[in-house]
Structure 1
Amino acid sequence: MCDGLVQHVSSKDSLAYFAQRDTPGNRFATLVTPLELCVTTPPKPQERHALIKPGMQVSAIRRRGGHLECIKVRWGWSPIWSVGTMPPLTHLPLHLVMRSKVFDPIKHEGRVLVAVEGWYESQPPASPSQAQQLTYTTDRQSTPIFLAALAQASETPFGCDGLALVTYGDIASQQQRVLAFSAEDALDWLAPELGWEQAQRLAARLNGAQPPLEPAVTAQRPAQRL
């Protein structure tokens, strides 16, 4: 699962990127490069741009009143029913959100997109003597990746406000990956009419369309040095 985001493209720039596509009858008039993910060596410290870790502010895009807007929100959501009993939620499996009524308000009003260059994931060491390994996932074509997320962002800042990335995958094996879109597919996540059965089909379609990730080249370093 995602341990850190690289967000060098601001949400305002992403809104401009969507502007010519989010119009009636001409939504995707410009050719969009398909999302082709690959796993590479984590960038060196001097090559990193705006690394975001859980607990930090992240830029996100949401739809309000028929228009797209950008917001800033903490990565880590603390639902009112969980305050004091569990740490902020940084990830939420799509199937759990779909079947539990406690997520009804946020799954209808809180769908957002997070534009990133890529993300870090920690991999379990091959042996206890080895340091934790990191991988970095990005797009082969260096185009923005849009991650699906749920966010509570009140007009007046509230202690429960926050964002959780949406994951999907094989429930039985507990293999979960972040739900990532190309610009061509990303706006489907924000469509007001999107139902959760449709969201599940969308995730399944993306899972089938994405090519297998290339073999990871990892760097051994402690996770806290993200």
Structure 2
Amino acid sequence: MCGRFALYSPYPSLCKALRLPLEPRELAPRYNVAPGTWITVVRHPSDEAPLVMDEVWWGFRPHWARATAPEPINATVEKVASSNYFRGAFAHHRCLVPADGWYEWQPLDGGKQPHFLCRQDREPLWLAGIWSERPDGRPGCAILTEPARGVARAIHPRMPLVLDAESLAPWLDPRLTDRETLRRVVHHLDPERLTHWPVSPRVNRPTQDDAALVSPAAS
């Protein structure tokens, strides 16, 4: 799954990677982004609207759902295109969630050890997501997950769907709605480009948010 991540790359570098026009804006670095908070995404607010980088709520509940409906933070690649809950957003409301890395917890005797997973070159990651207008009128999103690949398999059986550079534009293209077409043109980042290391259990507490959280834990 993907239940916690970090984003501390500066806004201009994220815009440059997607060829977005720069705006007079700054992003505060976040080292412990938790569900149920506003997170930065890249999306088309509507089919005709230009691409923007803005904020959505991390928690997916479509506008037609009841107030008691689930509010998942993840959607699996196996079901996102066919589930009644997700398929409309998968076809029409896809987004990218920028991250410098994500956290995962490795089961150990007597507890779990958190790890930070990121690119070996420390470039930002682009996580595939879907969004929908929620019943309260605010946009909310879920991050897609897939079976873990490469080094991530040693930590957890699942991981976020991390896209390669060539897949970013087609993933965001509102004209692409067919599931099979998307499968052909959208690909995950080569898992051999990922690395990880154990970090402090302080990350378990969402109130903790500082750069030391992504540093290797003291042995």
**What is the TM-score normalised by the length of structure 2?**
0.71
Which residue in the other structure is 2:153 paired with? Answer: none
Cα deviation for residue 169 of structure 1 reads: 2.8
Which residue in the other structure is 2:94 paired with? Answer: 111
Structure 1 residues 149-190: Cα deviation after superposition (integer angstroms, max 9, x where no partner): 011247xx82674110011238xxx94321102333322211
Q: Is the 8 A contact 1:18 1:183 kept in 2?
A: no
Cα deviation for residue 132 of structure 1 reads: 1.9
Cα deviation for residue 111 of structure 1 reads: 0.2
Q: Provide the aligned C-alpha RMSD in A.
A: 3.1
Identical pairs, percent: 21
Which residue identity lines up with residue 112 of structure 1 in the other structure? C
Of residues 53, 59, 67, the one that matches 2:50 is 67
Q: Is the 8 A contact 1:133 1:222 kept in 2?
A: no
How many pairs does the alignment contain? 188
Cα deviation for residue 73 of structure 1 reads: 0.7
Cα deviation for residue 10 of structure 1 reads: 5.5
Which residue identity lines up with residue 121 of structure 2 in the other structure? Q
Cα deviation for residue 103 of structure 1 reads: 2.6
Structure 1 residues 41-82: Cα deviation after superposition (integer angstroms, max 9, x where no partner): xxxxxxx84421001110100135263112211111123435
- Residue pairs, 1:196-215, within 5 angstroms: 196-201=179-184, 205-206=187-188, 209-211=190-192, 214=195
Cα deviation for residue 14 of structure 1 reads: 2.2
- Residue pairs, 1:1-226, within 5 angstroms: 1-9=1-9, 13-19=13-19, 49-63=30-44, 64-65=47-48, 67-79=50-62, 80-81=64-65, 83-86=67-70, 88-124=71-107, 126-127=108-109, 130-153=110-133, 158=136, 161-169=139-147, 175-191=157-173, 192-201=175-184, 205-206=187-188, 209-211=190-192, 214=195, 217-219=197-199, 221=201, 224-226=204-206
Unaligned runs of 5+ in 2: 21-28, 149-155, 207-219
Which residue identity lines up with residue 145 of structure 1 in the other structure? L
Secondary structure of 2:98's aligned partner? strand
Q: Is the 8 A contact 2:41 2:53 kept in 1?
A: yes
Which residue in the other structure is 2:25 paired with? Answer: none
Q: Distance in 2 between matches of 1:82 and 1:10?
A: 38
Cα deviation for residue 12 of structure 1 reads: 6.2
**What is the TM-score normalised by the length of structure 1?**
0.69
Q: Which has the higher contact order (CA 8 A, sep 6+)?
A: 1
Q: Is the 8 A contact 1:166 1:179 kept in 2?
A: yes
